[in-house]
């Protein structure tokens, strides 16, 4: 529905979004790595480190060549993507919204929150699709957590976005992000191929990020664009 391009929200605490940029670099490098592998090696990589919902809940087994437990794939799957559209959309949303969430809680808490949101989204996806053996990859659940946190922090900040990927408009963040999460819920409810796209990972990550930001943000940072309270001396 909306493709964000940039927001009007400068950093006020941290000098630079080091974790956000580092995550983008890591995701990009890992995405490019399989391009150097053979088709068989790429297949083995995917089947070894992607979430297999049935395997996570003991209803199936990972291939014999897998080197980690099925439960750990909930984490490793975050760093794999399939196709340019998949990774570029995740990295775009992370670039636009990640810096201000990182600014609100600091580098270490932000990284921890990012991973927790991804894991929470992966667990929800696997639980709802526990009979499916379709491998699932991507950082969408973690990035969704960033979106949930941003909505709680800055719902009124103006965002430059493309409507239906074409028409540029400036909209409040709450329209862009609420439109996004409503679309995820609709798709999760009516998708005829459950397990194919991790809609529930998006929803779970988003909800987790919205909850975590209330506990992990700096104490003087206030939610919903309310004026920031100066930190105590």
The CATH number covering residue 33 comes to: 1.20.1540.10
Domains held by the chain: number: 1
Residue 105, domain member (yes or no): yes
Alpha helical stretches, state H, the chain: 18-32, 39-49, 53-56, 73-76, 84-105, 107-128, 140-153, 173-190, 199-216
Q: Which of 27, 68, 13, 24 is nearest to 45 (CA)?
A: 68
Q: Which of 78, 87, 215 is nearest to 141 (CA)?
A: 78
Residue 185, domain member (yes or no): yes
The phi-psi region of residue 38 (left if phi > 0; otherwise alpha if psi is between -120 and 50; otherwise beta) is beta
Q: Which of 56, 146, 172 is nearest to 93 (CA)?
A: 146
Q: Which of 84, 88, 83 is nearest to 3 (CA)?
A: 88
Its pTM surpasses 0.75: yes
Average pLDDT, the chain: 93
Residue 108, domain member (yes or no): yes
Residue 225, domain member (yes or no): no
Residue 38, domain member (yes or no): yes
Which span out of 40-44, 88-92, 162-166 was modeled with the highest average pLDDT? 88-92
Q: What percent of the chain has pLDDT above 70?
A: 96
Q: What is the pLDDT of residue 204?
A: 98
Supply the range of the domain harboring residue 110.
2-216
Angle at 120 between CA 180 and CA 189, to 5 degrees: 45
Residue 231, domain member (yes or no): no
Q: Cα–Cα distance between 72 and 91 in angstroms, integer?
A: 23
Residue 228, domain member (yes or no): no
Residue 78, domain member (yes or no): yes
Q: Contact at 8 Å (CB) between 34 and 26?
A: no
The token pair that represents 158 in the structure block: 């103006």
Q: What is the pLDDT of residue 191?
A: 80
Q: Lowest mean pLDDT: which of 24-28, 126-130, 158-162, 189-193?
A: 189-193
Q: What is the pLDDT of residues 173-223, one digit of tens each?
A: 999 999 999 999 999 998 866 656 899 999 999 999 999 999 999 999 999
Q: Indicate the SS3 state at residue 126.
A: helix
């Amino acid at each position: 529905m909306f493709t964000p391009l940039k927001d009007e929200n400068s950093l006020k605490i941290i000098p630079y979004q080091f974790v956000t940029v580092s995550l983008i670099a890591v995701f990009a490098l890992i995405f490019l790595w399989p391009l150097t592998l053979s088709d068989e090696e790429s297949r083995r990589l995917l089947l070894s480190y992607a979430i297999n919902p049935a395997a996570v809940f003991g209803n199936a087994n990972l291939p014999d060549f897998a080197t980690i437990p099925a439960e750990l794939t909930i984490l490793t799957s975050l760093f794999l993507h399939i196709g340019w559209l998949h990774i570029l959309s995740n990295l775009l949303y992370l670039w636009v919204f990640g810096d201000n969430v990182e600014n609100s809680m600091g580098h270490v808490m932000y990284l921890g929150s990012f991973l927790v949101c991804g894991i929470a989204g992966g667990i929800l996806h696997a639980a709802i699709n526990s009979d499916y053996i379709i491998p699932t990859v991507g950082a969408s659940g973690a990035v969704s957590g960033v979106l949930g946190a941003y909505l709680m922090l800055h719902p009124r900040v103006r965002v430059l976005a493309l409507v239906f990927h074409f028409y540029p408009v400036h909209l409040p963040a709450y329209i862009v992000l609420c439109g996004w999460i409503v679309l995820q819920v609709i798709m999760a409810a009516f998708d005829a191929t459950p397990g194919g796209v991790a809609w529930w990972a998006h929803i779970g990550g988003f909800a987790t990020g919205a909850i975590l930001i209330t506990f992990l943000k700096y104490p003087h940072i206030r939610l919903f664009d309310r004026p920031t309270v100066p930190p105590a001396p």
